[in-house]
Amino acid sequence: MTMTRKTLRAALLAAAAFALAACSSSPADKKLRGQVIGGATGAAIGSLFGAGSGKAAAIGAGAVLGTIVGGKIAEDD
């Protein structure tokens, strides 16, 4: 798969997460929305690094870190 195709897929995933997250309004939903958006964004960024099993590790690490950071940012707002 080419780099532009991967980037497009990551952008579409992030756009879908934003669209789905816009439907909620309670504080718990806000944190969950931040976690989903952060996780998707982190996975998309992680997919740009590494190759083979290193790429899989980068995607996983990006998703985990993005979920944590996204949840914290949403809690603070």
Domain ranges of the chain: 3-76
42 and 67 in contact (C-beta within 8 Å)?
yes
Which of the two residues, 14 and 42, has the higher pLDDT score?
42
Q: Nearest Cα to 17, choosing from 75, 64, 58, 67? A: 67
pTM (2 d.p.): 0.66
User: In terms of pLDDT, which residue wins out, 37 or 10?
Assistant: 37
Q: What is the pLDDT of residues 22-44, one digit of tens each?
A: 555 677 788 898 999 999 999 99
Averaged pLDDT score across all residues of the chain: 81
Higher pLDDT, 27 or 63: 63
